[in-house]
């Protein structure tokens, strides 16, 4: 397999006039220069090669975070004294930037390179971070074995150096994988035990991750009040802004499932406007599309349906987009059958069992959305006071965000 094949495949399937083309060209040029600099059996690249790469990077717009990261990678690779650790940390930064854009195949490539070039035994922390990132990106593409292998390597290295917090962090992510594949009992058991251990050790970031996980599991069990409570507690514990975006999106989803549509919309709008991660913004827009058809707003539904039509959604979001698209089309007395069939195909292929189930139900029950709406109305009449307080907090957050927009 050639090095950085994912980048070449991306370019082969992309339009050279698209905005995504030049950043990826600059990225592969930088990675190949890094490889040549660190390949002890090869000769040093000449001055012209370095300048060519810098020219490709310089073509990116000023202010693009990837531009600064790639320049720093070129400099790190040129410093013989400290370059492997510096290159490894630069690759981690590049992987995070690509993750924000939702380019998960490229993310996997870059994190793998960080581990191979600068990881254990010299820099075990780089290996741990790289494999956690690799596991999450592979999971986005439903590459379950690749994800599991990355998490296993991260756990092995973390155990070897006594990094208990990272071991627990990986356990949260393993539990999330179990949840996504439909094994709620095992997911809940692992998440609960991980949360317990994190609290004993006062690992606040892991506590936040595990609370978010408990919230997601409660949502899948249709215990939406607990999903809200766990989610809000996670927001208070978690310091990472990217993770907080994900919590806020899921908190909005729980409110939507309870029929508290104003709170759900507040959360989705905040995330859609402010989230750093492209995946989280896509998720928020898909949920706003769902909320539109639940409320009977056909114009708003069509707006999101069209806006997301050409987005390079990963399998999980692509399945949800087609599920909600099909349900919405049915809601407005338009033919949504083919959309639901696509949702089933994607969900079956990638083992998203809940999405496949919901799509099959919608295919055989054209009144399912009306039935769901009535269930929501029934739940809405009996809302716990603690949840109502969180509703008001979310509304204040939305007003604050929108006033700064």
Domains of the chain: 1-13+20-162 (1.25.40)
Do 97 and 135 contact (CB within 8 A), yes or no? no
Tokens of 232: 């809000």
State the pLDDT at residue 381. 46
Work out the number of other CB atoms within 10 angstroms of the CB of residue 373.
Answer: 16
Positions of the chain with pLDDT under 70 = 1, 40-47, 81-82, 365-385, 401-405
Sign of CA dihedral 349, 350, 353, 357: negative
Tens of pLDDT, residues 173-190: 999 999 998 899 999 999
State the pLDDT at residue 376. 47
**Nearest CA among 146, 154, 153, 222 for reference residue 177:** 146
* Three-state SS at 80: coil
Work out the number of other CB atoms within 10 angstroms of the CB of residue 66.
Answer: 21
d(CA 91, CA 97): 10
State the pLDDT at residue 370. 52
C-alpha radius of gyration, the chain, whole number: 22
d(CA 70, CA 86): 12
DSSP calls for 36-101: HHH-TTSPPPPHHHHHHHHHHHHTSPTT-HHHHHHHHHHHHHH-TTTHHHHHHHHHHHHHHHHHHT
Burial (CB count within 10 angstroms: exposed 0-12, middle 13-18, buried 19+), residue 146: middle
d(CA 118, CA 73): 13
Burial (CB count within 10 angstroms: exposed 0-12, middle 13-18, buried 19+), residue 401: middle
State the pLDDT at residue 369. 52
Tokens of 318: 């692509």
pTM over cut 0.85: no
d(CA 218, CA 205): 20
Apex CA 217: angle with CA 223 and CA 286, to 5°?
Answer: 90
State the pLDDT at residue 113. 95
State the pLDDT at residue 282. 92
Tokens of 336: 């949504």
Q: Which residues contact 149 (CB under 8 A, 6 or more apart)?
A: none
Work out the number of other CB atoms within 10 angstroms of the CB of residue 82.
Answer: 9
Work out the number of other CB atoms within 10 angstroms of the CB of residue 166.
Answer: 23
């Amino acid at each position: 397999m050639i090095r950085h094949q994912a980048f070449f495949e991306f370019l082969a399937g992309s339009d050279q006039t698209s905005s995504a083309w030049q950043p990826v060209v600059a990225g592969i040029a930088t990675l190949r220069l890094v490889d040549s600099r660190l390949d002890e059996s090869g000769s040093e690249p000449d001055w012209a090669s370095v300048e060519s790469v810098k020219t490709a990077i310089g073509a990116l717009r000023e202010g693009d975070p990837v531009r600064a990261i790639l320049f720093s990678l070129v400099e790190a690779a040129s410093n013989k004294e400290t370059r492997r650790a510096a290159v490894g940390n630069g690759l981690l930064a590049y992987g995070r930037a690509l993750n924000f854009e939702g380019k998960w195949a490229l993310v996997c490539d870059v994190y793998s390179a960080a581990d191979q070039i600068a990881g254990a035994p010299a820099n075990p922390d780089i290996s741990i971070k790289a494999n956690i990132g690799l596991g999450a990106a592979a999971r986005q593409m439903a590459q379950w074995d690749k994800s599991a292998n990355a998490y296993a390597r991260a756990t092995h290295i973390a155990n070897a150096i006594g990094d208990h917090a990272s071991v627990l962090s990986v356990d949260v992510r393993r539990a999330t994988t179990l949840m996504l594949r439909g094994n709620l009992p095992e997911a809940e058991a692992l998440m609960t035990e991980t949360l317990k251990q994190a609290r004993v050790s006062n690992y606040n970031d892991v506590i936040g991750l595990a609370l978010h996980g408990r919230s997601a599991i409660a949502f899948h069990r249709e215990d939406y009040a607990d999903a809200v409570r766990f989610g809000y507690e996670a927001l208070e514990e978690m310091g990472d802004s990217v993770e907080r975006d994900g919590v806020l999106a899921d908190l909005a989803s729980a409110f939507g499932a309870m029929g508290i549509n104003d709170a759900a919309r507040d959360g989705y709008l905040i995330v859609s406007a402010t989230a750093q991660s492209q995946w989280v913004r896509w998720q928020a827009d898909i949920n706003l599309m769902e909320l539109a058809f639940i409320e009977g707003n056909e114009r708003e539904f069509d707006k999101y349906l069209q806006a997301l039509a050409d987005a390079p959604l990963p399998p999980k979001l692509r399945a949800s987009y087609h599920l909600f698209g099909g349900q919405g089309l049915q809601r407005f007395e338009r033919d949504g059958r083919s959309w639901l069939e696509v949702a089933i195909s994607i969900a079956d292929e990638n083992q998203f069992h809940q999405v496949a189930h919901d799509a099959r139900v919608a295919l055989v029950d054209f009144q399912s959305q009306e039935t769901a709406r009535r269930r929501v109305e029934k739940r809405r009449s009996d809302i716990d006071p603690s949840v109502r307080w969180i509703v008001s907090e979310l509304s204040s957050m939305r007003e604050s965000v929108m006033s700064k927009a």
